[in-house]
């Protein structure tokens, strides 16, 4: 598969989850594990552009896929992705554990929404699959809306 | 009392973006599970599926046959431990009967999830498989789950204690019984504060490496120094050879304010096997064996005169401690009792507390720890009294507020409130609300089948947990004093490292403390690095909990920086041949007050202190660093007014929070953005408890809410946007005037919601409903009030509805409707 634009190839046990492949084999520990039941969304990453809870997928199921993790969001010269910048600017994180998954879920949400402002309601509904215990979601919603505005301004 | 010092502030008070965030938003932070130690083994724990049973036999042969499994250990193997897991806070002068809690069960299990054996091996997946292959034979024993059943002692959790009652404690002031006898109105209610989970999104994790007589441990903990101390006590390793690191910690909420079995197990196994050992908690384990919170049945009485003057408040608290004690378990309700009078002048108060064992997991400190429970019963009862008196609940609060001129105010408990201005926060909240508009909306929405209600909560709480003399062994009985430390070190280039004994897990200390120190040293927060959570780097610390970090640890850092600034001024005065009294911090320099062009930057001062001794005054110690331990004279008492507006669907009973107004006062703001963030998260935690979350055990002690499938943490869809504002009333207890804000939102939240729901339903004849306010419970209350309930569902007295489990403690035998979000 390609992970963050780099081709990777491994022989893995059939039962290995994608999240464990990313973390334990590739060392990409920005993708977190927060539950056993695919409720928390801390492990969310993009598989072929769609947000996926990487604990629900076997590594072998992602064979040949393009996978993007939080480590692949900033540009090569270190410039933050507008969502990363938005979370920083709007205090959209506290302990930071849910943050990578939240940002990856938001990336898919904003992409699916397309250009133009995104409503509070749409953001709240769009991130219902990701749990945060610290922020009360208020600043996460602000961060995603601010980032979506910025992403609309600058065509990718 | 200390006077508030005017500081040349530049960064303090600003909403600086957090220094922590770049590593967090890029996935480069390092939590325990992200750490790999060479040669590391993995551990899994075999846990009891029985709530109460004797262990007949343990057969590990199947586990040991799997590839790479190094060992399986049971309670007998750990007989060399010098002490059981600690309980460090018992009420002063009170006999407390607590069972020993060992890291692995010794012959008997007392709750589902009790650890029976540990499996250690090369691969984490095989170790998890192996734990399933350990065959344990149990002889089941009778189980008691409901706390009021347990009080009867018909079934004992620990036979050897002869009772389930662990302790009684009464504290009070004035004469409650006389005041009640003389009162015009007395309101009595039974209020259940149900069991909840802390549920940080990062579960716990530990890596222990015992190597050549030294122990290094990485743990997702709020209290690294306490853990180091306990390792020394329990394993007999000299404290200087123990290092505990709390790396990035993914939320705590009190759940990581604990000395845990798994921390011992990893260290013990590492010593035995001479290999590092790692354990990462699964979410299912987190729900079962990371301590729970709340779980009280409270019988309250409030007495008043006909004009609304409150004359007495009494609470009889039955605390479900679970099967054992945790670190602070017996003290949790007591912590709330200290602010039993809330914002009000109530001359006669008494708290009677009974601790009771059940076959459930331990309860201990979860965000607010006793204060949410006490504030809930007080603020809910105030509204019940208002209704009884036919009085506006806002007017009733105003009538009984302690006035601004009454501070410092000594409560009937002998606690001295530092400062407050309660009416101002409430008035500001009302201004933001627009009550007339709200009542008009309420009327028009009713026609559409939507019941709108508004509820208030005006709270004050006790935090800044210190002072050592007050809380320590000869005060409230904690096994250690609660001070805090700081070490501020200016490097030769002028950059600064601050070591704090506080141990954050999301709060933003690295930013807030940097702001405080930077202002005092005339430098920029971007060159002030705050190091925390490592016992090998800074002085002794006490950790982060009880909203204490800023008002104790932040003040320690401020004082250390101020002492350094004095030294800097002396160095500058020497070099400018000026009087030290004329040197001030001006525009990022130590400069002459009358001629600010003449001055030196911190880097230039550091150059003198480290590089050119001839530029130092004769006899002055070289270098530029300061260690300081700060122990305040009093607690701090933040306060505020919260308003909740709910809409209830009359057809289904579903409650939606549509507005939340929070006006809080935690003294002068260091970083307003961080304060708002704490309020948002704190209120969301309270909304979770009030509407959705509940740890549920069935009548055989099986945990029903064992995963996030069944335990309903609120999502972004259930939480409203928040409308926040602040007032700033400085505390005279410390030189920054600051209080605490980490728990305030949670403390304020639940009664505002219950009061709002009752406000929405009162015209239907519903006068009280207990939490959690699930659609089923609210709908049943409505049905009963409309005469369609079957049988006497006496919600009038606050008795739990029969369908929620008779006499239930909220976490007793109940339906798993906490998952009905």
Look up the ipTM and state it.
0.98
**A 79-108 residues with CB < 8 A to B:** 80, 84, 87-89, 91, 93-100, 103
Residue B9 binned pLDDT confidence (cut-offs 50, 70, 90): low
Cβ neighbours of A33 in B, within 8 Å: 33
- Note whether B719 contacts A: Cβ–Cβ < 8 A: yes
Mean pLDDT of B76-95: 93
The stretch B361-365 carries a mean pLDDT of 98
pLDDT at residue B3 is higher than 60? no
The tokens for B787 are: 């005469």
In tens, the pLDDT along A35-45 reads 999 999 999 99
Residue of chain A with shortest Cα separation from B671 = A91
State the Cα–Cα distance between residues B645 and B457, nearest whole angstrom: 12
Which residues have C-beta within 8 Å of that of residue B740, sequence separation ≥ 6? B463, B464, B546, B547, B548, B549, B550, B551, B636, B638, B666
Nearest to B617 by CA among B564, B576, B562: B576
Q: Can you point out the beta strands (E) in B702-753?
A: 723-726
* Burial class of residue B111 in the structure, from the number of CB atoms within 10 Å of its CB (0-12 exposed, 13-18 middle, 19+ buried): buried
* Residue A2 C-alpha, separation from nearest chain B C-alpha, in angstroms: 18
Compute how many other C-beta atoms are within 10 angstroms of the C-beta atom of residue B640: 31
- Identify the pLDDT of residue B473: 86
Q: What is the chain A residue with the closest CA to B713?
A: A131
**pLDDT for A154:** 60
Q: How far, in Å, are B367, B613, B664, B682, B683 from residue B742 at the CA level? A: 8, 45, 11, 7, 10
Q: What does the pLDDT read at residue B817?
A: 40
Rg (CA), chain B: 27
Nearest to B27 among A37, A100, A135 (CB): A100
Residue from the list A34, A69, A136 with its beta carbon closest to the beta carbon of B680: A136
Rounded to an integer, what distance in angstroms lies between the CA atom of residue B538 and that of residue B530?
Answer: 11
Rounded to the nearest integer, the mean pLDDT of chain B is 94
Residue B437 C-alpha from the chain's centroid: 36
Chain A / chain B CB contacts < 8 angstroms: 171
Q: Which residue of chain B comes nearest to A17, CA vs CA?
A: B125
Average pLDDT over residues A83-87: 98
Taking an 8 Å cut-off on Cβ atoms, the answer to whether A32 and B283 are in contact is no
- The answer, for B437 touching chain A at a CB cutoff of 8 Å, is no
Give contacts of B681 with chain A, Cβ < 8 Å: 94, 133-136
- pLDDT (average), residues B131-156: 98
* Distance from the first to the final alpha carbon of chain A: 24
Lowest mean pLDDT among B179-183, B301-305, B472-476: B472-476
Q: Which DSSP string corresponds to B510-560?
A: HHHHHHHHHHHHTS-GGGEEEEESBTTTSS----S-TT-IIIIIIHHHHHH
The reported pLDDT for the residue numbered B479 is 85
The two structure tokens encoding residue B152:
């009867």
Distance, C-alpha A76 to centroid of its chain: 18
- What's the rounded Cα separation, in Å, for the pair B401 and B404? 9
Residues of B in contact with A58 (CB under 8 A): none
A53 touches chain B (CB under 8 A): no
d(Cα A36, Cα B674) in Å, to the nearest integer?
31
Measured over the CA atoms of residue B313, residue B318, residue B320 and residue B321, the dihedral's sign is: positive
The alpha-carbon gap from A94 to the nearest alpha carbon of chain B, in Å, equals 4
Helix pair A99-113, A82-89: axis angle to 10 deg:
120
Q: How confident is the model at residue B818, as a pLDDT?
A: 36
Q: Nearest CA to B708 among B276, B306, B200?
A: B200
Assess whether pLDDT exceeds 70 at residue B140. yes
Query: Concatenated DSSP letters for B218-234?
Result: EE--S-HHHHHHHHHHH
Q: Kindly list the residues from chain B whose CB atom is less than 8 angstroms away from the CB atom of residue A98.
A: 201
Q: Which pLDDT does position A25 carry in this prediction?
A: 98
Q: Using the predicted structure, report yes or no on whether residue B5 has a pLDDT greater than 70.
A: no
Are A96 and B250 in contact (CB < 8 Å)?
yes
Mean pLDDT of B538-561: 94
CB contact under 8 A, A31 and B27: yes
Query: What burial class does residue B414 get, using C-beta atoms within 10 Å of its C-beta: 0-12 exposed, 13-18 middle, 19+ buried?
Result: exposed
Query: Rounded to an integer, what distance in angstroms lies between the CA atom of residue B119 and that of residue B134?
Result: 9
Whether residue B664 lies within 8 A of chain A, CB to CB, comes out as no
- B518 has a pLDDT exceeding 80: yes
Nearest-angstrom CA–CA distance, B127 and B117: 12
pLDDT band at B807 (very low <50, low <70, confident <90, very high): very low
B251 to A91: CB separation less than 8 angstroms, yes or no: no
Q: At B375, is the secondary structure helix, strand, or coil?
A: helix
Instruction: List all residues of chain A from 1 to 30 with a beta carbon under 8 Å from chain B.
Output: 13, 15, 23, 28-30
pLDDT in tens, B243-293: 999 999 999 999 999 999 999 999 999 999 999 999 999 999 999 999 999
A3: closest CA of chain B, how far (Å): 15
Token pair 């993790």 in the structure block, residue:
A69
H/E element, B170: strand B165-173
* Higher per-residue confidence, B686 vs B538: B686
Q: Comparing A19-28, B33-42, B539-548, B572-581, which segment has the lowest mean pLDDT?
A: B539-548
Query: How far apart (Å, rounded) are the C-alpha atoms in residues B29 and A18?
Result: 20
CA angle A103, A106, A108 (to 5 degrees): 115
What is the number of alpha carbons within 13 Å of residue B681 lying toward its C-beta? 31
Contact B715 A128 (CB under 8 A): yes
Mark yes or no for CB contact A127/B715 under 8 Å.
Answer: yes
CB contact at 8 A, B147 and B356: yes
Q: Please tell me the distance from the alpha carbon of residue B309 to that of residue B169, in angstroms, as a whole number.
A: 28
**Distances, alpha carbon B563 to alpha carbons B486, B490, B521, B628, B734, in Å:** 12, 12, 10, 9, 16
Q: Which of A123, A138, A32 is nearest to B24 (CA)?
A: A32
């Amino acid at each position: 598969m390609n992970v963050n634009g780099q081709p990777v190839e491994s022989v893995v046990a059939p039962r290995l989850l994608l999240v464990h492949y990313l973390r334990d084999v590739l060392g990409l520990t920005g993708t977190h594990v927060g539950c056993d039941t695919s409720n928390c969304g801390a492990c969310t990453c993009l598989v072929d552009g769609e947000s996926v809870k990487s604990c629900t997928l076997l590594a072998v199921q992602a064979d040949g896929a393009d996978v993007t993790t939080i480590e692949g969001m900033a540009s090569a010269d270190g410039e933050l992705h507008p969502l990363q910048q938005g979370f920083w600017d709007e205090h959209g994180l506290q302990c930071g554990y849910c943050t990578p998954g939240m940002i990856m879920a938001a990336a898919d949400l904003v992409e699916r929404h397309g250009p133009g402002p995104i409503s509070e309601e749409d953001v709240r509904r769009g991130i219902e699959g990701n749990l945060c215990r610290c922020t009360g979601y208020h600043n996460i919603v602000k961060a995603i809306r601010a980032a979506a505005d910025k992403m609309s301004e600058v065509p990718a | 009392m200390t006077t508030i010092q005017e500081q040349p502030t530049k960064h303090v008070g600003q909403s600086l973006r957090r220094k922590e965030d770049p590593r967090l938003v890029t996935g480069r932070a390092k939590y325990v599970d992200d750490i790999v130690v060479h040669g590391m083994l993995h551990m899994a724990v075999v846990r009891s599926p029985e709530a109460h049973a004797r262990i007949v036999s343990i057969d590990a042969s199947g586990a040991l046959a799997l590839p790479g499994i190094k060992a399986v250990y049971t309670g007998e193997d750990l007989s060399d431990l010098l002490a059981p897991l600690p309980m460090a806070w018992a009420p002063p002068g009170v006999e407390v009967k607590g069972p020993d809690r060992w890291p692995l069960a010794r012959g008997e299990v007392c709750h589902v999830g009790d650890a029976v054996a540990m499996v250690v091996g090369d691969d984490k997946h095989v170790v998890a498989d192996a734990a399933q292959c350990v065959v344990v034979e149990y002889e089941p024993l009778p189980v008691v789950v409901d706390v009021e059943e347990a009080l009867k002692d018909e079934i004992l959790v620990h036979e050897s204690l002869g009772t389930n009652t662990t302790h009684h404690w009464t504290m009070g002031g004035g004469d409650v019984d006389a005041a009640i006898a003389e009162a015009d109105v007395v309101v009595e209610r039974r209020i259940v504060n149900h069991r909840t989970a802390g549920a940080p999104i990062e579960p716990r994790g530990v890596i222990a490496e015992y190597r050549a007589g030294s122990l290094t441990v990485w743990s997702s903990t709020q209290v690294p120094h306490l853990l180091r101390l306990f390792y020394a006590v329990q394993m007999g390793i000299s404290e200087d050879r123990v290092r505990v690191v709390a790396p990035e910690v993914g939320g705590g909420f009190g759940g990581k304010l604990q000395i845990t079995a798994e921390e011992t197990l990893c260290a013990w196994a590492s010593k035995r096997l001479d290999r590092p050992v790692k354990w990462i908690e699964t979410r299912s384990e987190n729900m079962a064996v990371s301590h729970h919170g709340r779980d009280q049945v409270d019988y309250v009485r409030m007495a008043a005169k006909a004009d609304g003057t409150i004359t007495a408040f009494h609470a009889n608290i039955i605390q479900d401690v679970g099967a054992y004690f945790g670190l602070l378990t017996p003290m949790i309700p007591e912590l709330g009792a200290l602010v039993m009078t809330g914002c009000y002048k109530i001359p006669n108060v008494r708290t009677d507390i009974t601790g009771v064992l059940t076959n459930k997991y331990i309860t201990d400190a979860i965000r607010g720890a006793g204060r949410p429970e006490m504030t809930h019963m007080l603020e809910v009862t105030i509204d019940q009294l208002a209704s009884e008196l036919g009085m506006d609940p806002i007017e009733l609060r105003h009538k009984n507020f302690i006035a601004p001129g009454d501070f410092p105010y000594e409560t009937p408990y002998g606690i001295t409130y530092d400062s407050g201005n309660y009416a101002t926060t409430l008035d500001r909240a009302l201004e933001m609300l627009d009550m007339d508009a709200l009542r008009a909306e309420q009327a028009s929405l009713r026609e559409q089948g939507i019941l709108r209600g508004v509820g208030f909560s005006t709270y004050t709480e006790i935090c800044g947990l210190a002072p050592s003399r007050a809380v320590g062994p000869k005060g409230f009985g904690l096994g250690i004093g609660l001070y805090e430390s700081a070490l501020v070190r200016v490097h030769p280039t002028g950059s600064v490292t601050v070591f704090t004994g506080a141990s954050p897990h999301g709060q933003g200390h690295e930013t807030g403390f940097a702001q405080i120190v930077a202002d005092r040293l005339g430098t920029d927060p971007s060159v002030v690095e705050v190091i925390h959570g490592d016992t090998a780097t800074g002085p002794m610390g006490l950790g982060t909990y009880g909203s204490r970090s800023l008002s104790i640890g932040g003040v320690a850092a401020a004082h250390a920086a101020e002492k350094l600034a004095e030294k800097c001024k002396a160095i500058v005065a020497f070099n400018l041949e000026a009087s030290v009294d004329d040197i001030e911090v001006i525009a990022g320099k130590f400069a002459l007050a009358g001629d600010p062009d003449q001055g030196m930057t911190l880097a230039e001062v550091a150059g003198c202190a480290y590089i050119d001794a001839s530029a130092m005054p004769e006899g002055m110690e070289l270098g530029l660093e300061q260690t300081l331990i700060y122990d305040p004279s009093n607690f701090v008492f933040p306060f505020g007014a919260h308003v909740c507006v709910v809409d209830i669907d009359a057809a289904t009973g579903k409650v939606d929070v549509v507005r939340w107004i929070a006006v809080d006062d935690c003294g002068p703001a260091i970083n307003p953005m961080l304060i708002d963030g704490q309020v948002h998260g704190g209120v969301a935690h309270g909304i979770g408890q009030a509407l959705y979350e509940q740890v549920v055990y069935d009548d055989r002690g099986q945990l029903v809410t064992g995963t996030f499938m069944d335990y309903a943490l609120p999502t972004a869809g259930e939480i409203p946007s928040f409308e926040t504002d602040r007032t700033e009333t400085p505390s005279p207890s410390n030189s920054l005037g600051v209080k605490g804000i980490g728990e305030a939102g949670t403390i304020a939240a639940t009664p505002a919601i219950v009061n709002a729901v009752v406000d929405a339903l009162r015209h239907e004849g519903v006068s009280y409903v207990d939490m959690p306010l699930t659609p089923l419970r609210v709908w049943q209350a409505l049905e009963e009030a409309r005469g369609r309930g079957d049988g006497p569902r006496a919600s009038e007295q606050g008795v739990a509805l029969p369908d929620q489990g008779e006499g239930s403690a909220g976490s007793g035998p109940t339906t798993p409707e906490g998952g009905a979000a």
